[in-house]
A = this chain, B = another copy of it.
Amino acid sequence: MNGAETLVETMLASGVTVCFANPGTSEMHFVAALDTHPDMRCILCLFEGGVTGAADGYARMSGNVAGTLLHLGPGFANGWANLHNARKGHSGIVNVVGDHAGYHLKHDAPLQSDLDGVAGSVSHWMRRAGEADEVAPLGAEAIRAARGGEIATLILPADSAWGESTAAPVTAAPPRVKHLPDTARIEAAAEALKEPGAALLPGGPALYGAGAELAGRISTRTGARLIAPFFSPRIELGGGAVAFEQMFYQGAQNAEFLKDIKSLTCLGEAPPVNFFAYPGQPSTPDPAGCVIDKLCHPDWDIQGTLEALAEAAGVDGSEDIARIETTIPDPGTGGLTPDGVGRALANATPDSAIMVNEAVTAGFGIWPHVNAAARHDRINTTGGAIGQCLPAALGAAVACPDRPVFAVSGDGSAMYQVQSLWTAARERLNITFIIIANRGYQILHHELEAQGAPKPGRNARAMFDIEDPLIDWQAMAAGHGVAAARATTCEEMTAALAQAASTPGPFLIEAVTG
């Protein structure tokens, strides 16, 4: 068995059965090994940002780890931005990156670069296999790290892949035991939550499923406000979901929203910070004098902390959890706006949907309606690197083939990893892409104003507006093999959503709101 084969078998033995990929020559022996292991599902993306973003979406919805296959430094760099989003969302990913054979490196061939530098700048765990025998044990270490929520990158030089290995495949160990705050800290936090002006800010797995239920009980039992971050990696919403108060994008809105809190207990989430700095504005939205307790860091044991805190707070299961009440708005009429998109989508949201959100400005109009529609999971762009939505939808659809996925993206963001449409068509994934065609980076108009700059002139408009030429999203979809419709009114939006629901595989709706 060569090194590549031991790695594929290590992955399969450890339950890593999906590999999002864009390989090149230096990965050919790994490709050959995948060929003889049909249990591994290999999914091609036509750009590496799709590869890594899909692995992130897969991790968020499956709770499991996917592999990626990337081609040397440039291939890794192309996937960097979505690895950044994954890192900020605490998604574990195993990257397998090919490199030249070790003895070839001294020649500085064209594709040679500072691979260790670029990979190290976003990975928690990074190792380079020196020879074939090291591949399987390092692969198992990488999987273990990724299961703990880390970006794990294994550099696989071609000669370690093709070399004969005497090492057997390895089943990865369970993730390392995560840190739990000590009892005194937990008890103090439980007491603090009972004081007036207390708020609890959960993150990670405390925003959905059993974690959210516990967070809801703690809030009810203590009387503390229950607050969710704006860019939560995954949160349950819609009728019946635990009712978190949601933070906002803009720092000024968050400052108003938080102005009466006296203490904030962060449980699996970092303290709030404004997305950007602005001249003369504070960096964080918390009011003066507010006590911030970083009770549980995002990479500690969030579920364990929730359980311990619930016990310390006296949670007994009898709590009446505040839940979102289903409220379906009228579907709207006339010219399409973000509000109209939200109304139509709220009416069309099926049970158990997954909504992937990268519509920041349009989202202000869309999501208030959808938040109270049928129960669903929401995925957000955690690291602020645009181009996450379409790839993450791929990964979510692969992880949850029985759940309808909606990818709601601004047009500027959607262009970033537009090649993901092709993978959705190839894999027949049940994704409805809703592209908000407002013909520009609308957020930048807001931000220029927020920075105190004057109205945009010729050069600023040249960099903010994408209306010359207009992107034809129906043609873009056709180019990638995806069926599509255009909606310019609320009625057309409703009809397009119905068409999407009755179309097998992916469907793209160009929602013209601009």
Contacts and interface: CB of A to CB of B under 8 A. Distances in A.
A416 B84 contact: no
Interface string A12-48: 0000000001111110110110111110101110110
A23 B460 CA distance: 10
Contacts of A40: 459
Contacts of A289: none
Contact of A419 (B32, B44, B274, B418): B418
B444 A25 contact: yes
A252 interface: no
A253 to B, nearest CB: 16
Interface string A102-118: 01100111110110011
Given A29-B451, A457-B36, A479-B479, A416 B108 contact: no
A203 B450 CA distance: 49
A183 B455 CA distance: 60
Contacts of A111: 275-276, 383-385
Most chain B beta-carbon neighbours within 10 Å: one of A386, A422, A479: A479
B46 A412 contact: yes
A316 interface: no
Given A113-B84, A274-B109, A471-B481, A42 B158 contact: no
Per assembly, the copies of the chain total: 2
Nearest to A468: B426
Interface string A469-494: 11111011011110000000000000
Given A457-B35, A481-B472, A416 B47 contact: yes
A284 to B, nearest CB: 6
Given A277-B158, A469-B481, A459 B383 contact: no
A32 B460 contact: yes
A26 B276 contact: yes
Interface in A335-385: 382-385
Given A113-B122, A114-B121, A453 B277 contact: no
Q: Interface extent on A, as a size class?
A: 35 or more
A100 interface: yes
B284 A383 contact: no
A107 B472 contact: no
Contacts of A475: 475-476, 478-479
A334 interface: no
Interface string A437-449: 0000001100110
Contacts of A468: 426
A472 to B, nearest CB: 5
Contacts of A317: none
B80 A46 contact: no
17 contacts: A22-B463, A31-B444, A34-B459, A42-B459, A46-B415, A73-B80, A74-B81, A74-B84, A77-B118, A78-B387, A80-B80, A88-B110, A104-B276, A422-B466, A425-B469, A470-B481, A471-B481
> Which 9 residue pairs spanning A and B have beta carbons closest together?
A469-B481, A117-B121, A74-B385, A77-B80, A476-B479, A101-B277, A74-B81, A475-B479, A104-B277
